[in-house]
Amino acid sequence: MKKLLFGITNLGIGGAERVLVDLVNNLSSYYDIEIFTIYNGGIFEKELNSNIKISSLLDKSFEELNIFKRKMISLKLFLGFYKNKINDKLEDKDTIIAFLEGPITKLFSNVKKYKVAWIHTDLTKHYSKNKLKEYKKNYMNYDKIIFPSNFIKEKFDKEFKNIFLKKELVIENYINEERILNKTKEFIDFKYKSPNFLVIGRFVKAKGYERLLSVHEKLITEGLIHYIYVIGEGPLKNEISDLIKEKKLDKTFILLGAKENPYPYLKNAEVLLSASFYEGFGMTALEAKILGKKVISTNTAVSEVLEDYENKVICENDENGLYNSLKEHLMNENDVKKPYVYNNKIIEKIKKIL
């Protein structure tokens, strides 16, 4: 049986992490699979099939390390301190997959194996010009580069002047529809106030929480009472929480924290809302599509995910676009809802390149 090794930073809560677990659980019927993480631990580890092996470069989770140790590890990764340990781990593998941009891609780049790199985000938004030069060298050593959307691929090609075109493929993120439908059945002791919008995402600049809060405040001031619920954690959560309190909107803009199972919330919400400045794919939009929920989103890669879906609004990627779309929904709640059939051929595409 062919031996695959997938690498990722860790298996904590995140979109790429969720995709990886669903993907390897499906592929484990066809391949001998091991997941290699930089940091130990992660809530999704327990969801892996029993025949999937897991190992880590470090014996501690990212959260267990202080800032100094995190910086030291980053420096060691950059300087190639772990090269021998990595080579020993990958020696008997047939195919190596760096499933996330960043450190894991660098770690695997010089291994003399058939290698695949996954890129889930717009690298130009995350890395300096010097870092991008370094990653250009890393990607030169990969045999295939996979993007979940044309949006991300085009950003990548523009930055690197189309030099990787022969290696590139666009394959939509895999999602386990049955798992999602089963998880919606979990009971949650929670009642939504209506009309409402649900946001699922990390508290980072890219998700546009500040401008969404500004739009929410404006609509509330105009007398259009509604509720926005947010599932997620992240470095800017305290900052956004303070802003909510300062604006006295904590009764209508409600932070729910991270949820291991967000699907009952998504099932019971009226609208999934994305206010992002940019997205690599839009996993939550795909999940909402499977559940037949209305989606309102700024014009990002989410629009690709929703291309064949009728129950959506794609607005201009600015504050006015968000304001007009939310206001229109609040004043005219007469959405046409047609059932959506998820046609999943992604696994076959991935097996061809592995």
Task: Specify whether 27 is located in the same domain as 167.
Answer: yes
Residue 42 above 90 pLDDT? no
The CATH number of residue 229's host domain is: 3.40.50.2000
Top-confidence residue, 72 or 303: 303
Same domain, 152 and 284: no
Output the pLDDT for position 354: 87
Domain extent at residue 249: 179-331
- Total domains in the fold of the chain: 2
**Residue 207 and residue 114 share a domain:** no
Residue 28 lies in a domain: yes
pLDDT at residue number 338: 64
My answer on whether 57 and 104 are in the same domain is yes
Indicate if 165 and 184 belong to the same structural domain: no
Whether residue 67 lies inside any domain: the answer is yes
pLDDT, residue 340, reads: 73
Mean per-residue pLDDT of the chain = 91
Indicate whether 65 pLDDT > 90.
Answer: no
Is residue 110 a part of any domain in this protein?
yes
Residues 284-320 pLDDT 10s: 999 999 999 999 999 999 999 999 899 999 999 999 9
- End residue of a domain, out of 108, 139, 171: 171
Assess if residue 50 is contained within a domain.
yes
Domain end position, chosen among 171, 193, 220: 171
Q: How far is the C-alpha of 39 from the C-alpha of 314, rounded, in Å?
A: 37
pLDDT value of position 312: 94
**Domain assignment present for 139:** yes
Q: Are residues 98 and 195 in the same domain?
A: no
Q: Are residues 135 and 214 in the same domain?
A: no
Q: Tell whether 343 is covered by a domain.
A: no
**Segment 114-159, tens digit of pLDDT:** 999 999 998 988 888 888 998 899 999 999 999 999 999 999 999 9
Report yes or no: 186 and 195 within 8 Å, Cβ to Cβ: no
Same domain, 127 and 144: yes
Residue 339 pLDDT grade (very low, low, confident, very high; cuts 50, 70, 90): low
pLDDT confidence of residue 68: 82
Residues 149 and 290 in one domain: no
Q: Are residues 137 and 211 in the same domain?
A: no
pLDDT in tens, 185-238: 998 877 788 999 999 999 999 999 999 999 999 999 999 999 999 999 999 999
- Separation of CA 162 from chain center: 25
pLDDT value for 130:
87
pLDDT of residue 78: 73
Within a domain: 52: yes
Give the residue from 143, 171, 199 where a domain finishes.
171
Q: How confident is the model at residue 336 (pLDDT cuts 50, 70, 90)?
A: low
Residue 41 confidence (pLDDT):
81
Per-residue pLDDT at 67: 82
Considering the domain architecture, whether residues 12 and 124 belong to the same structural domain is answered as yes
State pTM to two decimals: 0.85
In this structure, the answer to whether residues 159 and 242 fall within a common structural domain is no
- Could you tell me the pLDDT band of residue 334, with boundaries at 50, 70 and 90? low
Residue 339 located in a structural domain: no
pLDDT in tens, 233-274: 999 999 999 999 999 999 999 999 999 899 999 999 999 999
